[in-house]
Structure 1
Amino acid sequence: MTFEQSDTSQDTCFPLADKTTTIMAIAAGLAVANVYTVQPLLNVIGESLAMRPANLGLAVTLTQLGYAAGLILLVPLGDLLNRRSLIVGQTGLSFLALAIVALSDSPGLFLFALAAVGALAVTVQTLVAFAGTLALPERRGAAVGKVTGGIVIGILVARAVSGSVSELLGWRAVYAISALVSLVTTLALSRALPGDPRQPGTASYGSILRSLPRFFLDDRLLRRRAVYAFIIFAAFSTFWTAVVFPLTDAPFRLSNTQVGLFGLVGIAGTLGARGAGKLVDKGSEQRVTGTALALLCLSWAPIALLSFSLWWLAVGIVLLDLAVQAVHVTNQTLIVGRHPDAAGRVIAVYMVFYSLGSAAGAAASTYVYSVSGWHGVCLAGATISIAGLLFWASTARTPTDNLLALAVSPCPD
Structure 2
Amino acid sequence: MTFADLGLSEDLLKAVSDAGYTTPTDIQREAIPPVLMMKDIIGIAQTGTGKTASFVLPMIDVLASGRRRALMPRSLILAPTRELAAQVAENFEKYGKNHDLKLALLIGGVQMGDQVKALNEGVDVLIATPGRLMDLFERGKILLNGCELLVIDEADRMLDMGFIPDIEFICSKLPEARQTMLFSATMPPPIEKLAKKFLNNPKRIEVSRAATTNKDITAFKVPVESRKKRETLRWLLDHDHVETAIVFANRKTTVRELNKSLQSHGFRSGEIHGDMDQSNRLKELDRFKKGEINILVASDVAARGLDIKGVSHVFNFDTPWHPDDYVHRIGRTGRAGAKGRAFTFVAKEDAEAIDNVEKLTGAKIKVFGKEDVRVELVERPVERSEEKPKRAHKKREDDEPRDEKPARSKSTPKAKSEPRRKRDADDAPVAAGEWNGPRPGFLDISAT
Normalization by structure 2: what TM-score? 0.24
Tell me which structure has the larger Cα radius of gyration.
2
Higher strand share: 2
Q: Bigger relative contact order, structure 1 or 2, given CA contacts below 8 A and separation 6+?
A: 1
Normalization by structure 1: what TM-score? 0.25
